[in-house]
């Protein structure tokens, strides 16, 4: 591009590259997210309910699936996408100041939970090919093996599960 030589261009992540663990910048960002918020595979981490928290949640999910659990890049790609969708719903629709992210690895599956203080239930709506929004739960429904909502005395936990082959 004329006049932009030597200026780094933003990365465009295709479906195949988004899940790969790339060293250097991505590694550092994931490390900072773990330092700032904690490991969601060990305990629920609390993130501020802001749009930029989706990036932190994606990095946390990626490092857990790839590094801590040693699962495939495809599993990481799908889990990261679904984490992003649940976090997006929590940020956009609950009015909360914070939300919680927890990741578990029961035998034969992974389970990801996003907890928020709203008792408003998410709604799976039909989507059309050209719809620009409203696809979040549709994707969760299509890519996960199970998903649901557990109502809590104060709020709810929206979760999904994906099967994995145990070694």
Summarize pLDDT for 92-147 with one digit per residue, the tens.
Answer: 888 889 999 999 999 999 999 999 999 998 878 777 666 556 677 888 999 999 99
The pLDDT of residue 49 is above 60: yes
- Spatial CA neighbour of 49 closest among 87, 98, 88: 98
Residue 48 has pLDDT above 50, yes or no: yes
Phi and psi at 115, nearest 5°, equal -105, 135
Predicted local confidence at residue 13, as pLDDT: 41
Q: What pLDDT shows up at residue 22?
A: 45
Average pLDDT estimate for 45-70: 94
pLDDT digits (tens, 9 = 90+) for 59-94: 999 999 999 999 999 999 999 999 999 999 999 888
Q: Are strands 98-104 and 155-163 parallel, antiparallel or unpaired?
A: unpaired
pLDDT grade for 165, boundaries at 50, 70 and 90: confident
Average pLDDT on 152-162 reads 96
Q: What is the pLDDT of residue 132?
A: 59
| pLDDT higher at 17 or 154 | 154
* DSSP codes, 56-102: HHHHHHHHIIIIIS---HHHHHHHHHHHHHHHHHHHHHS--SEEEEE
Quick one: CA dihedral 77, 145, 107, 56, positive or negative?
positive
Task: Measure the CA dihedral 54/71/40/159, to 10°.
Answer: 70
Average pLDDT over residues 141-159: 95
Per-residue confidence (pLDDT) for residue 130, from 0 to 100: 64
- Predicted TM-score (pTM) of the model is 0.79
Given a cut of 70, whether residue 1 has pLDDT beyond it is no
């Amino acid at each position: 591009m004329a006049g932009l030589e030597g200026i780094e261009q933003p990365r465009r992540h295709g479906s195949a590259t988004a899940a790969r663990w790339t060293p250097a910048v991505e590694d550092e960002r994931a490390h900072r997210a773990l330092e700032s918020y904690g490991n969601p595979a060990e305990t629920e981490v609390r993130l501020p309910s802001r749009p930029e928290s989706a990036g932190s949640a994606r990095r946390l999910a990626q490092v857990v699936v790839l590094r801590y659990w040693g699962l495939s890049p495809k599993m990481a790609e799908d889990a990261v996408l679904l984490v992003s969708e649940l976090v997006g719903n929590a940020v956009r629709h609950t009015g909360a100041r914070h939300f919680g992210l927890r990741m578990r690895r029961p035998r034969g599956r992974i389970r990801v939970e996003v907890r928020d203080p709203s008792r408003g239930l998410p709604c799976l709506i039909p989507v059309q090919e050209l719809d620009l929004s409203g696809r979040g739960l549709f994707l969760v429904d299509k890519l996960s093996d199970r998903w649901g909502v557990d109502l809590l005395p104060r709020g709810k936990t929206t979760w999904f599960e994906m099967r994995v082959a145990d070694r």
